[in-house]
Amino acid sequence: MKLIGSLTSPYVRKVRIVMAEKKLEYELIIEDVWSDKTKIQAYNPLGKVPCLVMDDNGCLFDSRVIVEYLDTLSPVGRLIPQTGRDRTATRCWEATADGVLDAAVAINIEKTRRPAELRSDDWIKRQTDKITTTLEFMNTELDSLVFCMGINFSLADIAVGCALGYLDLRFEELNWRKKYINLAALYEKLRVRPSFVGSAPPK
Residues contributing to the site for ligand GSF (CB under 6 A): 9-11, 33, 47-50, 62-64, 98, 105
Amino acid at 94: E
Residue 176: CB minimum distance to ligand GSF, A: 19
DSSP label of 147: B
Helix (H) or strand (E) holding 52: strand 51-53
Is residue 50 reached through a cis peptide bond, with omega within 30 degrees of 0 on the bond before it?
A: yes
Q: Please, what is the minimum distance in Å from the beta carbon of residue 62 to ligand GSF?
A: 3
CA distance linking residue 39 with residue 55, whole number of Å = 19
- Phi first, then psi, for residue 2 (nearest 5°) are -120, 140
The nearest distance, CB 178 to ligand GSF, in angstroms, is 26
**Cα 68 to chain centroid, rounded:** 14
Residue closer to ligand GSF by CB (options 8, 132) is: 8
- Nearest-approach distance from CB 104 to ligand GSF, in angstroms: 9
Q: Would you say 124 or 184 has its CB closer to ligand GSF?
A: 124
Nearest approach, Cβ of residue 160 and ligand GSF (Å): 14
Cβ burial of 4 (10 Å; 0-12, 13-18, 19+) is buried
Nearer to ligand GSF, 22 or 48 (CB): 48
Which CB, 111 or 179, lies closer to ligand GSF? Answer: 111
Using the minimum distance from each CB to ligand GSF, give the nearer residue, 130 or 189: 130
Contact 78, 26 (CB under 8 A): no
Closer of 11 and 176 to ligand GSF (Cβ): 11
Question: Residue 105's closest CA among 34, 202, 155?
Answer: 34
To ligand GSF, the closest distance from the beta carbon of 19 in angstroms equals 14
